Amino acid sequence: MGKTRHRIDGDSAHAVTEALWTTLQTTEEEGTFLLIRGTGIYVDDLVRGEDGWRIARRELALKSITRDRVQVAEADLADIRYTLEKDSWY
């Protein structure tokens, strides 16, 4: 996340945040992954309730995206696959 600009009006707010992300996705080719890098702006409307501030609506304005196929060393494959498993982040 980058810089954020926000405007608060009572129990509602509007925020715009610059974002940069990198993700790695599997492919059908053993040892080859898809590296995706992107930049954009999150545009959020927030509301304050009993449990604090919550995002009520979020949009992403995409600035750029690149996709590259990358080869991974055999020694690193098991660790990378583990981080990409659906349940590994829970």
Tens-place pLDDT, residues 27-71:
888 889 999 999 999 999 999 999 999 999 999 999 999 999 999
88 pLDDT more than 70: no
Tokens 């925020």, residue located: 15
Parallel, antiparallel, or unpaired: how do β-strands 52-71 and 12-26 relate?
unpaired
Confidence of residue 82 (pLDDT cuts 50, 70, 90): confident
- Among positive and negative, which fits the CA dihedral 83, 84, 87, 90? positive
pLDDT at 90: 52
